[in-house]
Structure 1
Amino acid sequence: MTTSGTPLARSEAELKHLMVAGLDGDAGAQERLLRAMLPLLRGFFGRRLGREADEVEDLVQETLIALHTRRATFDRDRPFTAWAYAVARYKLVDHFRRRRAHVPVEDVAEILLAEGFEDALSARLDVDRLLEGLSPKQARAIRDTKISGLSVAEAASDAKLSEADVKVSVHRGLKALAERLKGQ
Protein backbone atom coordinates (compact mmCIF):
# COMPACT_ATOMS: atom_id res chain seq x y z
CA MET A 1 0.00 0.00 0.00
CA THR A 2 2.87 2.35 0.52
CA THR A 3 6.27 2.89 -0.95
CA SER A 4 8.89 4.47 1.31
CA GLY A 5 6.15 5.70 3.65
CA THR A 6 4.04 7.62 1.13
CA PRO A 7 0.57 6.49 0.06
CA LEU A 8 0.24 5.29 -3.51
CA ALA A 9 -2.97 7.19 -4.12
CA ARG A 10 -3.64 10.75 -3.08
CA SER A 11 -6.77 12.80 -3.24
CA GLU A 12 -7.19 15.86 -5.42
CA ALA A 13 -7.12 18.01 -2.28
CA GLU A 14 -3.82 16.52 -1.08
CA LEU A 15 -2.17 16.82 -4.48
CA LYS A 16 -3.36 20.40 -4.94
CA HIS A 17 -2.14 21.29 -1.43
CA LEU A 18 1.31 19.91 -2.28
CA MET A 19 1.34 21.81 -5.58
CA VAL A 20 0.38 25.11 -3.95
CA ALA A 21 2.92 24.59 -1.16
CA GLY A 22 5.57 23.88 -3.81
CA LEU A 23 4.60 27.05 -5.66
CA ASP A 24 4.97 28.94 -2.40
CA GLY A 25 8.57 27.73 -2.07
CA ASP A 26 8.27 24.46 -0.11
CA ALA A 27 10.77 22.25 -1.95
CA GLY A 28 9.82 19.24 0.18
CA ALA A 29 6.18 19.56 -0.85
CA GLN A 30 7.23 19.78 -4.50
CA GLU A 31 9.27 16.59 -4.13
CA ARG A 32 6.40 14.79 -2.36
CA LEU A 33 4.03 15.89 -5.14
CA LEU A 34 6.26 14.50 -7.87
CA ARG A 35 6.67 11.22 -5.95
CA ALA A 36 2.89 10.99 -5.45
CA MET A 37 2.39 11.48 -9.19
CA LEU A 38 4.60 8.49 -10.10
CA PRO A 39 1.96 5.73 -9.70
CA LEU A 40 -0.78 7.93 -11.18
CA LEU A 41 1.25 8.66 -14.30
CA ARG A 42 2.43 5.06 -14.63
CA GLY A 43 -1.21 3.98 -14.59
CA PHE A 44 -2.25 6.70 -17.03
CA PHE A 45 0.43 5.82 -19.59
CA GLY A 46 0.29 2.08 -18.89
CA ARG A 47 -3.42 1.94 -19.79
CA ARG A 48 -2.66 3.65 -23.09
CA LEU A 49 0.58 1.97 -24.09
CA GLY A 50 0.13 -1.52 -22.67
CA ARG A 51 3.33 -3.48 -22.32
CA GLU A 52 5.70 -0.82 -23.62
CA ALA A 53 7.28 -0.44 -20.14
CA ASP A 54 10.32 1.52 -21.31
CA GLU A 55 8.14 4.02 -23.13
CA VAL A 56 5.83 4.31 -20.10
CA GLU A 57 8.78 5.17 -17.84
CA ASP A 58 10.16 7.64 -20.38
CA LEU A 59 6.79 9.40 -20.58
CA VAL A 60 6.44 9.41 -16.79
CA GLN A 61 9.84 11.11 -16.48
CA GLU A 62 9.08 13.61 -19.27
CA THR A 63 5.77 14.46 -17.62
CA LEU A 64 7.31 14.89 -14.18
CA ILE A 65 9.87 17.26 -15.67
CA ALA A 66 7.11 19.18 -17.46
CA LEU A 67 5.01 19.38 -14.27
CA HIS A 68 8.00 20.83 -12.48
CA THR A 69 9.19 23.24 -15.16
CA ARG A 70 5.68 24.45 -16.05
CA ARG A 71 4.35 24.67 -12.51
CA ALA A 72 4.09 28.46 -12.82
CA THR A 73 1.30 27.96 -15.38
CA PHE A 74 -0.90 26.15 -12.84
CA ASP A 75 -4.01 28.15 -11.93
CA ARG A 76 -4.56 27.79 -8.18
CA ASP A 77 -8.33 28.17 -8.64
CA ARG A 78 -8.56 25.04 -10.83
CA PRO A 79 -8.21 21.33 -9.99
CA PHE A 80 -4.61 20.14 -9.97
CA THR A 81 -5.27 16.69 -11.46
CA ALA A 82 -7.04 18.13 -14.51
CA TRP A 83 -3.98 20.29 -15.19
CA ALA A 84 -1.54 17.44 -14.52
CA TYR A 85 -3.39 14.98 -16.77
CA ALA A 86 -3.59 17.62 -19.51
CA VAL A 87 0.22 17.88 -19.37
CA ALA A 88 0.42 14.07 -19.51
CA ARG A 89 -1.92 13.94 -22.52
CA TYR A 90 0.27 16.46 -24.37
CA LYS A 91 3.31 14.30 -23.63
CA LEU A 92 1.45 11.26 -24.96
CA VAL A 93 0.47 13.09 -28.14
CA ASP A 94 4.07 14.19 -28.61
CA HIS A 95 5.15 10.57 -28.13
CA PHE A 96 2.76 9.35 -30.83
CA ARG A 97 3.89 12.13 -33.17
CA ARG A 98 7.52 11.12 -32.73
CA ARG A 99 6.71 7.48 -33.51
CA ARG A 100 4.81 8.01 -36.72
CA ALA A 101 6.48 7.84 -40.10
CA HIS A 102 7.09 11.03 -42.05
CA VAL A 103 5.13 11.19 -45.28
CA PRO A 104 5.63 13.68 -48.14
CA VAL A 105 2.74 16.15 -48.39
CA GLU A 106 2.06 15.08 -51.97
CA ASP A 107 1.18 11.55 -50.78
CA VAL A 108 -1.21 12.55 -47.99
CA ALA A 109 -4.42 12.50 -50.09
CA GLU A 110 -3.72 8.97 -51.34
CA ILE A 111 -2.87 7.74 -47.86
CA LEU A 112 -5.99 9.25 -46.34
CA LEU A 113 -8.20 7.62 -48.95
CA ALA A 114 -6.41 4.27 -48.63
CA GLU A 115 -6.67 4.33 -44.84
CA GLY A 116 -10.39 5.09 -44.86
CA PHE A 117 -10.17 8.73 -43.82
CA GLU A 118 -13.49 9.49 -45.50
CA ASP A 119 -15.10 6.58 -43.65
CA ALA A 120 -13.64 7.83 -40.38
CA LEU A 121 -14.88 11.36 -41.06
CA SER A 122 -18.32 10.03 -41.92
CA ALA A 123 -18.37 7.93 -38.75
CA ARG A 124 -17.32 10.96 -36.69
CA LEU A 125 -20.17 13.00 -38.17
CA ASP A 126 -22.58 10.15 -37.40
CA VAL A 127 -21.40 10.02 -33.79
CA ASP A 128 -21.70 13.79 -33.46
CA ARG A 129 -25.22 13.63 -34.88
CA LEU A 130 -26.18 10.86 -32.42
CA LEU A 131 -24.80 12.72 -29.43
CA GLU A 132 -26.63 15.95 -30.38
CA GLY A 133 -29.88 14.55 -28.98
CA LEU A 134 -28.40 14.03 -25.51
CA SER A 135 -27.86 16.50 -22.73
CA PRO A 136 -24.46 18.21 -22.97
CA LYS A 137 -23.34 16.44 -19.78
CA GLN A 138 -24.27 12.99 -21.15
CA ALA A 139 -22.71 13.69 -24.54
CA ARG A 140 -19.47 14.88 -22.95
CA ALA A 141 -19.32 11.90 -20.59
CA ILE A 142 -19.79 9.46 -23.48
CA ARG A 143 -17.33 11.30 -25.72
CA ASP A 144 -14.69 11.46 -22.96
CA THR A 145 -14.95 7.86 -21.74
CA LYS A 146 -16.09 5.87 -24.75
CA ILE A 147 -14.54 7.80 -27.64
CA SER A 148 -11.51 9.64 -26.23
CA GLY A 149 -10.60 6.77 -23.91
CA LEU A 150 -10.37 8.71 -20.67
CA SER A 151 -10.94 6.83 -17.45
CA VAL A 152 -14.02 7.75 -15.44
CA ALA A 153 -11.77 9.51 -12.92
CA GLU A 154 -10.06 11.55 -15.65
CA ALA A 155 -13.36 12.48 -17.27
CA ALA A 156 -14.81 13.47 -13.89
CA SER A 157 -11.79 15.62 -13.08
CA ASP A 158 -11.85 17.34 -16.48
CA ALA A 159 -15.60 18.04 -16.26
CA LYS A 160 -15.47 18.95 -12.55
CA LEU A 161 -18.02 16.24 -11.74
CA SER A 162 -18.02 13.29 -9.39
CA GLU A 163 -17.08 9.90 -10.79
CA ALA A 164 -20.57 8.66 -9.95
CA ASP A 165 -22.09 11.53 -11.96
CA VAL A 166 -19.96 10.61 -14.98
CA LYS A 167 -20.93 6.92 -14.69
CA VAL A 168 -24.63 7.78 -14.41
CA SER A 169 -24.39 10.22 -17.35
CA VAL A 170 -22.73 7.58 -19.53
CA HIS A 171 -25.28 4.93 -18.54
CA ARG A 172 -28.31 7.16 -19.11
CA GLY A 173 -26.87 8.59 -22.33
CA LEU A 174 -26.17 5.14 -23.78
CA LYS A 175 -29.62 3.98 -22.73
CA ALA A 176 -31.21 6.98 -24.47
CA LEU A 177 -29.13 6.30 -27.61
CA ALA A 178 -30.19 2.64 -27.60
CA GLU A 179 -33.86 3.63 -27.30
CA ARG A 180 -33.51 6.14 -30.12
CA LEU A 181 -31.82 3.59 -32.37
CA LYS A 182 -34.48 0.97 -31.61
CA GLY A 183 -37.13 3.45 -32.75
CA GLN A 184 -35.44 4.03 -36.15
Structure 2
Amino acid sequence: MGQSEDQLKALMIGGLDGDAAAHAALLRALVPLLERFYRRRLAGSNEVDDLVQETLIAVHGRRATYDRGRPFTAWLYAIARYRMIDHLRRQRRHIPIEDVEAMLVTEGFEASANARIDVTRLLDTLPPKQSRAIRDTHIDGQSIAEAATRAGIGESDVKISVHRGLRALAARLKG
Protein backbone atom coordinates (compact mmCIF):
# COMPACT_ATOMS: atom_id res chain seq x y z
CA MET A 1 0.00 0.00 0.00
CA GLY A 2 1.29 3.48 -0.86
CA GLN A 3 2.33 6.12 1.60
CA SER A 4 0.03 9.05 2.33
CA GLU A 5 0.94 12.70 1.80
CA ASP A 6 1.51 13.09 5.55
CA GLN A 7 3.75 10.02 5.73
CA LEU A 8 5.83 11.12 2.74
CA LYS A 9 6.13 14.64 4.13
CA ALA A 10 7.24 13.24 7.52
CA LEU A 11 9.91 11.12 5.80
CA MET A 12 11.09 14.13 3.80
CA ILE A 13 11.31 16.33 6.89
CA GLY A 14 13.09 13.54 8.76
CA GLY A 15 15.61 13.32 5.95
CA LEU A 16 16.08 17.08 5.97
CA ASP A 17 16.71 16.90 9.71
CA GLY A 18 19.51 14.39 9.18
CA ASP A 19 17.72 11.05 9.54
CA ALA A 20 19.39 8.95 6.82
CA ALA A 21 16.96 6.05 7.35
CA ALA A 22 13.98 8.36 6.76
CA HIS A 23 15.57 9.72 3.59
CA ALA A 24 16.26 6.21 2.29
CA ALA A 25 12.70 5.14 3.15
CA LEU A 26 11.36 8.20 1.32
CA LEU A 27 13.30 7.38 -1.84
CA ARG A 28 12.07 3.77 -1.73
CA ALA A 29 8.46 4.92 -1.23
CA LEU A 30 8.70 7.28 -4.21
CA VAL A 31 9.58 4.56 -6.71
CA PRO A 32 6.03 3.18 -7.21
CA LEU A 33 4.52 6.69 -7.23
CA LEU A 34 6.92 7.85 -9.91
CA GLU A 35 6.52 4.65 -11.93
CA ARG A 36 2.74 5.17 -12.04
CA PHE A 37 3.19 8.86 -12.86
CA TYR A 38 5.44 8.16 -15.84
CA ARG A 39 3.65 5.04 -17.10
CA ARG A 40 0.40 6.94 -17.20
CA ARG A 41 1.91 9.74 -19.28
CA LEU A 42 4.32 7.72 -21.40
CA ALA A 43 2.28 4.60 -22.15
CA GLY A 44 4.31 1.90 -23.82
CA SER A 45 7.60 3.66 -23.16
CA ASN A 46 10.66 1.71 -22.05
CA GLU A 47 12.12 4.90 -20.53
CA VAL A 48 10.12 4.85 -17.29
CA ASP A 49 12.89 3.32 -15.18
CA ASP A 50 15.39 5.91 -16.40
CA LEU A 51 13.01 8.75 -15.58
CA VAL A 52 12.31 7.34 -12.12
CA GLN A 53 16.05 7.21 -11.42
CA GLU A 54 16.61 10.73 -12.78
CA THR A 55 13.77 12.03 -10.61
CA LEU A 56 15.06 10.32 -7.48
CA ILE A 57 18.46 11.91 -8.10
CA ALA A 58 16.79 15.30 -8.60
CA VAL A 59 14.76 14.89 -5.39
CA HIS A 60 17.94 14.04 -3.51
CA GLY A 61 19.89 16.89 -5.07
CA ARG A 62 17.18 19.50 -4.61
CA ARG A 63 15.88 18.44 -1.21
CA ALA A 64 17.10 21.66 0.38
CA THR A 65 14.62 23.61 -1.80
CA TYR A 66 11.61 21.84 -0.27
CA ASP A 67 9.41 24.21 1.78
CA ARG A 68 8.29 22.33 4.89
CA GLY A 69 5.05 24.32 5.00
CA ARG A 70 3.90 23.04 1.60
CA PRO A 71 2.56 19.68 0.43
CA PHE A 72 5.37 17.28 -0.42
CA THR A 73 3.71 15.58 -3.39
CA ALA A 74 3.10 18.89 -5.19
CA TRP A 75 6.85 19.53 -4.98
CA LEU A 76 7.64 15.98 -6.08
CA TYR A 77 5.32 16.00 -9.09
CA ALA A 78 6.61 19.40 -10.19
CA ILE A 79 10.10 17.89 -10.34
CA ALA A 80 8.76 14.81 -12.14
CA ARG A 81 6.95 16.90 -14.78
CA TYR A 82 10.06 18.91 -15.54
CA ARG A 83 12.21 15.76 -15.68
CA MET A 84 9.77 14.26 -18.20
CA ILE A 85 9.74 17.38 -20.35
CA ASP A 86 13.54 17.57 -20.30
CA HIS A 87 13.69 13.91 -21.27
CA LEU A 88 11.27 14.39 -24.16
CA ARG A 89 13.25 17.40 -25.37
CA ARG A 90 16.46 15.35 -25.36
CA GLN A 91 14.66 12.75 -27.44
CA ARG A 92 13.49 15.54 -29.78
CA ARG A 93 9.99 14.14 -29.78
CA HIS A 94 7.04 16.06 -31.12
CA ILE A 95 4.53 16.51 -28.31
CA PRO A 96 0.97 17.64 -29.14
CA ILE A 97 0.08 20.85 -27.32
CA GLU A 98 -2.79 19.11 -25.50
CA ASP A 99 -0.32 16.69 -23.95
CA VAL A 100 1.96 19.50 -22.84
CA GLU A 101 -0.98 21.26 -21.21
CA ALA A 102 -1.86 18.06 -19.37
CA MET A 103 1.73 17.68 -18.20
CA LEU A 104 1.97 21.28 -17.05
CA VAL A 105 -1.29 21.87 -15.31
CA THR A 106 0.45 24.61 -13.36
CA GLU A 107 3.67 26.45 -14.11
CA GLY A 108 5.43 26.82 -10.81
CA PHE A 109 5.73 25.21 -7.43
CA GLU A 110 3.59 27.84 -5.71
CA ALA A 111 0.70 27.39 -8.14
CA SER A 112 1.11 23.62 -8.01
CA ALA A 113 0.99 23.56 -4.21
CA ASN A 114 -2.04 25.86 -4.12
CA ALA A 115 -3.85 23.78 -6.73
CA ARG A 116 -3.16 20.63 -4.71
CA ILE A 117 -4.57 22.27 -1.58
CA ASP A 118 -7.68 23.38 -3.51
CA VAL A 119 -8.20 19.90 -4.92
CA THR A 120 -7.80 18.37 -1.46
CA ARG A 121 -10.42 20.74 -0.04
CA LEU A 122 -12.83 19.95 -2.87
CA LEU A 123 -12.36 16.21 -2.49
CA ASP A 124 -12.96 16.51 1.25
CA THR A 125 -16.50 17.71 0.49
CA LEU A 126 -17.34 14.37 -1.12
CA PRO A 127 -18.38 11.15 0.58
CA PRO A 128 -15.20 9.24 1.58
CA LYS A 129 -15.70 6.43 -0.95
CA GLN A 130 -15.99 8.86 -3.87
CA SER A 131 -13.12 11.00 -2.63
CA ARG A 132 -10.83 8.00 -2.24
CA ALA A 133 -11.72 6.61 -5.68
CA ILE A 134 -10.90 9.94 -7.33
CA ARG A 135 -7.67 10.37 -5.33
CA ASP A 136 -6.51 6.85 -6.14
CA THR A 137 -7.28 6.94 -9.87
CA HIS A 138 -6.87 10.57 -10.89
CA ILE A 139 -4.28 11.91 -8.46
CA ASP A 140 -2.17 8.91 -7.43
CA GLY A 141 -2.34 7.38 -10.91
CA GLN A 142 -3.60 3.95 -9.91
CA SER A 143 -5.52 1.83 -12.37
CA ILE A 144 -9.16 1.01 -11.65
CA ALA A 145 -8.07 -2.50 -10.64
CA GLU A 146 -5.40 -1.19 -8.25
CA ALA A 147 -7.83 1.27 -6.66
CA ALA A 148 -10.44 -1.45 -6.25
CA THR A 149 -7.97 -3.80 -4.59
CA ARG A 150 -6.69 -1.05 -2.29
CA ALA A 151 -10.23 -0.10 -1.22
CA GLY A 152 -11.48 -3.68 -1.02
CA ILE A 153 -14.33 -3.04 -3.46
CA GLY A 154 -15.19 -4.06 -7.01
CA GLU A 155 -13.87 -2.31 -10.10
CA SER A 156 -17.36 -1.24 -11.16
CA ASP A 157 -17.85 0.31 -7.72
CA VAL A 158 -14.69 2.37 -8.22
CA LYS A 159 -15.86 3.51 -11.66
CA ILE A 160 -19.27 4.51 -10.32
CA SER A 161 -17.72 6.31 -7.34
CA VAL A 162 -15.38 8.26 -9.62
CA HIS A 163 -18.22 9.17 -12.00
CA ARG A 164 -20.56 10.30 -9.23
CA GLY A 165 -17.82 12.17 -7.40
CA LEU A 166 -16.69 14.05 -10.52
CA ARG A 167 -20.29 14.88 -11.36
CA ALA A 168 -20.82 16.24 -7.82
CA LEU A 169 -17.62 18.30 -8.03
CA ALA A 170 -18.63 19.73 -11.40
CA ALA A 171 -22.01 20.74 -9.95
CA ARG A 172 -20.29 22.43 -6.99
CA LEU A 173 -17.92 24.32 -9.25
CA LYS A 174 -20.74 25.53 -11.48
CA GLY A 175 -22.21 27.09 -8.40
TM-score normalized with structure 1 length: 0.57
Instruction: Give 2:78's aligned residue.
Output: 86
The SS at the match of 2:69 is coil
User: CA-atom RMSD, angstroms?
Assistant: 3.3
Contact 1:22 1:30 in 2 (8 A): yes
Residue 14 of structure 2 is aligned with which of 10, 13, 21?
21
- The Cα shift of 1:158 comes to 3.8
Q: Which amino acid aligns with 1:45?
A: Y
Larger-gyration structure (1/2): 1
**For the residues of structure 2 that align with 1:32 and 1:62, how far apart are their CA atoms?**
17
Contact 2:16 2:64 in 1 (8 A): yes
The SS at the match of 1:52 is coil
1:159 and 2:116 correspond: yes
- The Cα shift of 1:149 comes to 5.6
After superposition, the Cα gap between the structure-2 partners of 1:170 and 1:91, relative to the gap in structure 1 and judged at 3 Å, is: farther
- Report the number of matched residues: 123
1:36 and 2:35 correspond: no
Superposition pairs for residues 89-168 of structure 1, below 5 Å? 89-100=81-92, 148=102, 158-160=115-117, 161-162=119-120, 164=123, 167=166
The SS at the match of 2:68 is coil
Superposition pairs for residues 66-85 of structure 1, below 5 Å? 66-85=58-77
Alpha-carbon displacement from aligned partner over 1:19-70 (angstroms, at most 9, x marks no partner): 00000000000000000000000000000111113x0000000000000010
Q: Which has the higher contact order (CA 8 A, sep 6+)?
A: 2
Contact 2:81 2:103 in 1 (8 A): no
After superposing on structure 2, the runs of 4+ consecutive aligned residues of structure 1 that deviate more than 4 Å are none
**For the residues of structure 2 that align with 1:81 and 1:101, how far apart are their CA atoms?**
27
Residue 45 of structure 2 is aligned with which of 34, 41, 52?
52
Instruction: Give 1:134's aligned residue.
Output: none
After superposition, the Cα gap between the structure-2 partners of 1:169 and 1:89, relative to the gap in structure 1 and judged at 3 Å, is: farther
After superposition, the Cα gap between the structure-2 partners of 1:72 and 1:33, relative to the gap in structure 1 and judged at 3 Å, is: same
Contact 2:75 2:113 in 1 (8 A): no
**For the residues of structure 2 that align with 1:28 and 1:16, how far apart are their CA atoms?**
14
**For the residues of structure 2 that align with 1:169 and 1:156, how far apart are their CA atoms?**
23
TM-score normalized with structure 2 length: 0.60
After superposition, the Cα gap between the structure-2 partners of 1:47 and 1:71, relative to the gap in structure 1 and judged at 3 Å, is: same
Contact 1:81 1:157 in 2 (8 A): no
